[in-house]
Copies of this chain bind each other. A is one copy, B any other.
């Protein structure tokens, strides 16, 4: 029998029982019955715990770990992750509410994003969260709001660095950017803000995301440290908060190699010990991860509705598609479409595999979920599992497209408690 869990490092994190993919200790057919409808997103609690533990073990003790809620804002998941990390990062007033609902202190919540409207800034000031300001004009709006509601805003300046990071899935720093204040403009802004009723805590630098190359991340962190130390020298008061960004990538396709987390952690430890901690003794250092913490823990499960042969090609038509998991269809920020790891989740140990094209139920050729992939020989009613669905899945997809019902999300696996009868 073939064991399909060995084909991709993400798939190998899951176990198989009786030929079925197991998510959160529940075999997938039982899980589908328990959820009550397909398609659904299932997130494995234990895999999230494992990943946070790996990160904790690799990163220096002095670093605080932040979860970027935008990667997956499902309330139950955010609540669980909030119990594992030190800090939450949010990108809207809606996410801020989800973060505050967890009970984490507002001082452990930061709010970044280029288009914050006044109602959102007011929420953030009122909550006592850290506002990562993206421009001088946004900082002035925060000052005005603080004066208006009588609460001293707590801010950090998001800095657009004077260097770019190679090899990122998405570049978010260097050159002209909508993100942050250009590094060379930061000293003047700090001078301006020092004359206002605002508490400037420090800086945020986020150079890029979805990077799989340890050497590039290490280089970026070293350059970020240089930049932070330069800016700290011009700061009117001691730096108490430094968000070093994140950008740790996950292997979406078969050709991607997982990030060498240990190397990144070791280099960051040296940077902290020898440069950052000695020079910025009052600072809290934060690494912000979203996709890296939860992306590999999620699977998008759908059911095969139809199987057809068309001119020599075998099509598996599922009851889900791009309206639920846009990224896997190749329509979210990827110029060249690549297949995400995909299995017949209730035939994980087949005798043979066959080539099939997996398409969604939408009436558009964009709805392609697996282009000529090798899978177990499936039947109508079988369950298809598409991996890497834990981050930027449900919420990053056009749920209303073509009027189908929204998918369900479940967080599966029990927490450790005293035994029940």
| Chain A residues proximal to chain B, CB less than 8 Å | 69-70, 73, 90-95, 98, 112-117, 134-138, 160, 170-172, 175-179, 182, 305-308, 310-313, 315, 317-319, 321, 326, 331-333, 335, 357, 359-366, 380, 394-405
Chain B residues with Cβ below 8 Å from A335 are 335
B178 A319 Cβ-Cβ under 8 A = no
A310 B402 Cβ-Cβ under 8 A = no
Chain B residues with Cβ below 8 Å from A113 are 361-363, 402
Alpha-carbon distance A403/B101, docked complex (angstroms): 14
Copies of this chain, complex-wide, total: 2
- A interface SS class: loop
A403 B363 Cβ-Cβ under 8 A = no
Alpha-carbon distance A317/B305, docked complex (angstroms): 43
Contact partner, A308, options B135, B313, B397, Cβ 8 Å: B135
Alpha-carbon distance A166/B91, docked complex (angstroms): 43
Q: Which residue of B lies closest to A366 (CB)?
A: B333
B398 A366 Cβ-Cβ under 8 A = no
A365 B172 Cβ-Cβ under 8 A = yes
A396 vs chain B, min Cβ distance (A): 5
Alpha-carbon distance A306/B180, docked complex (angstroms): 12
Alpha-carbon distance A311/B91, docked complex (angstroms): 24
B395 A362 Cβ-Cβ under 8 A = no
Alpha-carbon distance A170/B311, docked complex (angstroms): 19
B366 A170 Cβ-Cβ under 8 A = yes
Knowing A114-B363, A305-B117, A365-B171 are in contact, say whether A94-B403 is a contact too (CB < 8 A).
yes
Q: Which residue of B lies closest to A73 (CB)?
A: B403
**Residue from A92, A136, A359, A405 with most neighbouring chain B CB atoms (10 Å):** A92
Contact partner, A315, options B90, B178, B361, Cβ 8 Å: B178
Q: Which residue of B lies closest to A337 (CB)?
A: B335
Chain B residues with Cβ below 8 Å from A112 are 363
Alpha-carbon distance A171/B365, docked complex (angstroms): 7
**Among all A-B residue pairs, the 10 with the closest Cβ atoms:** A115-B361, A94-B403, A176-B313, A395-B400, A113-B363, A176-B311, A176-B310, A95-B403, A178-B359, A135-B308
Q: Which residue of B lies closest to A311 (CB)?
A: B176
Q: Which residue of B lies closest to A162 (CB)?
A: B311
Chain B residues with Cβ below 8 Å from A398 are 326, 395-399
